[in-house]
Amino acid sequence: MTPLVFVAVVAAGGVGAALRFAFDTVVRAWTGERYPWGILVVNLTGAFVLGLLTPLVVDEAWRWIVGTGLLGGYTTFSAVAVTTALLAEEGRTRAATSYAVASFVGSVLAAALGLALGRLL
């Protein structure tokens, strides 16, 4: 990885994190705070887009910039882990379990769907 690509990955990560914050804020405004729909939607859309772009992007530098930088900054596993733990701590076991399962299984399915669609394009 060249220094220029490294800087581009860092910058793309910042853009991705800002997009995550904005998208999460909008979704939470629509759905409320009772269930963490914002980060769930962010992670599902990020997994889908990464799956979609993986077979399409042939240049290794762009894979780093878009996949690791932009989409790595956009998606977040740590928020899923913390939110799941907080829901469980609040005694909301059903919400914690459904959120963890929807996040993991949904992200894998979204990525697989993106990969399949990306291979068709």
pLDDT digits (tens, 9 = 90+) for 105-121: 999 999 999 999 999 98
For 54-92, where are the alpha helices, taking DSSP H only? 60-62, 72-74, 77-89
Instruction: Residue 75: name the closest of 26, 19, 36, 3 by CA.
Output: 19
Host domain of residue 40 = 3-120
Number of domains observed in the structure of the chain: 1
18-54: per-residue pLDDT in tens? 999 999 999 999 999 999 999 999 999 999 999 999 9
Q: Which amino acid is at 40?
A: L
Q: pTM of the full predicted structure?
A: 0.92
